[in-house]
Amino acid sequence: MTSSAAASNSTASNAPAGTLGANHPLNDGRTSDSPLITAYRGGTPSRRPVWFMRQAGRSLPEYLKVRQGVAMLDSCLRPELAAEITLQPVRRHDVDAAIFFSDIVIPLKLAGVGVDIVPGVGPVLDKPVRTAADVAALPTLTWEALEPIREAVRLTVAELGKTPLIGFAGAPFTLAAYMVEGKPSRDHLGPRTMMHADPETWAALANWAADTSGMFLQAQLEAGASAAQLFDSWAGSLGLADYTKYVAPASTRALNHVRGLGAPLIHFGTGTSELLVAMRDVGVDVVGVDYRLPLDEANRRLGGTVPLQGNIDPALLSAPWEVLEAHVREVIAAGSHAPGHVLNLGHGVPPETDPTVLTRVVELIHSIPAE
């Protein structure tokens, strides 16, 4: 099979037609009027919504306890354990959303790609994907293989009540970057070179990653998640021209799997201040902004067209409280320029963060009336 044939042999054929049933939280009244969904849709929420990326785990002692002796990817694929970890920060911090506990390489593992999380390193593939033959040999993710994900979402949503669950997936570029390099990379030279040196193979790989991520998102939303976020962790290594030509079409393709479901879609990347308009234009409802760019400037660049999410600097979580409080208030003021604003960090929760600080930040945010 050629690489172009591999691209056309889309995993989308394995997925049933997307629909959110009458008992879905967005349709039965549980989450449709929640602060999070209201803000994502540009309305005025009953209180300022806040959640944190990487809030499920790492900094929580209860997470470390339940994860003891369980490998990372195994913990993601045990539905009861994944649900428990997802729920822990909601119980502790009173955040306005749960973020599904998983990993961006889980769809690869479920498809049959050899990958594991190596402590201190990150995702490592058994064999990098660097040629047309490598792409053509990639296995196909099946709808049946996603059942552990759907079950974990169902268990989580049953406990969350009116608190929305956010589903997530890695964006195609980030997945493909791991696959080409075979491990984390600082500059992502491998995938950036492939785009130009072998664009047909790159397109085939990006489309494979798009359909795999798209199915992963679809499984979460149809099982009960009320919103979905596409994470492009490594897009900041790209210039605007390369992003627009070689990456944005694949991100659009991934989101096409869930675009008609009616759930808010969020796009977030790190180091992507110069890409915000292009990231919005892949077709999302909300744009996440990292800590490098003030929200009022992000809103200006986006023309006031979409709600924003972000962007408390994680480094300030260990600063004196008066410094952190002033920063949170500045973020709220800057976010007030946008059509809607959900408070978040401008990246994930550092593992050394004191959980009581996160709880105090949530209390502060909730104490400031929504406008």
Distance, in Å, from the CA atom of 149 to the CA atom of 346, rounded to the nearest integer, reads 27
Please pick, among 58, 150, 259, 292, the residue that the annotation labels catalytic: 58
Q: Are 202 and 133 in contact (CB under 8 A)?
A: no
Q: Which of 67, 78, 292, 301 is catalytic?
A: 67
User: How far, in Å, are 21, 65, 208, 233, 361 from residue 144 at the CA level?
Assistant: 19, 31, 18, 28, 40
Dihedrals phi, psi of 288, to nearest 5 degrees: -85, 140
Q: Which of 48, 92, 134, 178 is catalytic?
A: 178
The yes-or-no answer on residue 178 being catalytic is yes
What beta strand segments (E) does the chain contain?
Answer: 98-99, 115-118, 122-125, 165-170, 227-232, 265-269, 286-288, 308-309, 341-342
Question: Strand pairing of 165-170 and 98-99?
Answer: parallel
For residues 294 and 338, the answer to whether their CB atoms sit within 8 Å is no
In eight-state DSSP terms, residue 142 is: -
Q: Map residue 319 onto helix, strand or coil.
A: coil
Token readout for 71 is 């490998």
Quote the CA–CA distance of 330 and 339 in Å, as a whole number.
Answer: 17
In the set 48, 54, 92, 253, the catalytic residue is 54
Active-site residue, from 103, 134, 211, 285: 103
Q: Which of 305, 307, 221, 302 is nearest to 48 (CA)?
A: 307
* 93, 166, 355 from 73: Cα distances, Å: 25, 19, 24
**Catalytic (active site) residue 58:** yes
Catalytic-residue membership of 63: no
What is the Cα–Cα distance from 265 to 252, expressed in whole angstroms? 12
Helix count and strand count (H, E) for the chain: 17, 9
Instruction: Report the SS3 class of residue 23.
Output: coil
Residues with catalytic function: 54, 58, 67, 103, 178
